[in-house]
A = this chain, B = another copy of it.
Amino acid sequence: MTEMNGKPLPEFDLDGYLPYRLAVLATDLSKDLADQYRARFDISVAEWRVLVNVGYAGTPSVRDIERRVSLEKSKVSRAAARLEAAGYLAKCTDQADRRLVKLSLTPKGRALLTEIVPLAEAYQQQIRDMLGPHYQALQDALTTLMEKKNL
């Protein structure tokens, strides 16, 4: 086992590396949710995000959603297109500013959302249970990080 390496590598603990940990965990959770949503409603995560936004943010434009949920505008556009095709939401051009496309729920979309939201809540509750007192700490940390990130 005589290693012929000149200088040793600097210390590094990948398992404790925060960006990496966050990425892994987020991917994990996302995958979980993606499976649930796809299995039950044939909806992608991006579509779910758009749907929720439309439901809870009045009648946002594509740009609004892009900013609000940090989703590429092309992704938003395509998600909206699919949701429209599936009959979950309607597009109409804003009369005040005709560049904008205002998105709104159809009754069917509203029904879907009514059905999905409890699932999402349940999932979060599950996480909350797993975390116990760590839950609020995690939320606080995320808030802090998100705030300080953009300045």
Cβ proximity bits A20-50 to B, threshold 8 Å, 1 near / 0 not = 1111111111101100000000000100010
A interface SS class:
helix
Q: Is the CB of B124 within 8 A of A19?
A: yes
Binding site for B on A (CB under 8 A): 5-7, 9-10, 12, 14, 16-30, 32-33, 45, 49, 52-53, 55-56, 69-70, 107, 110, 113-114, 117-118, 120-121, 123-124, 127, 130-132, 134-135, 137-142, 144-146, 148-149
User: A19 to B49, alpha carbons, bound, how many Å?
Assistant: 11
Q: Is the CB of B124 within 8 A of A134?
A: no
The complex is assembled from copies of this chain, and their number is 2
A146 CB, min distance to chain B CBs, angstroms = 6
Among the interface residues A25, A132, A149, which one has the most CB atoms of the partner chain B within 10 A? A25
Besides A6-B107, A18-B29, A18-B138, 10 other CB < 8 A contacts? A9-B55, A12-B56, A16-B139, A18-B124, A19-B123, A20-B49, A21-B142, A26-B27, A134-B141, A137-B140
Chain B residues lying within 8 Å of A139, measured Cβ to Cβ, are: 16, 18, 21
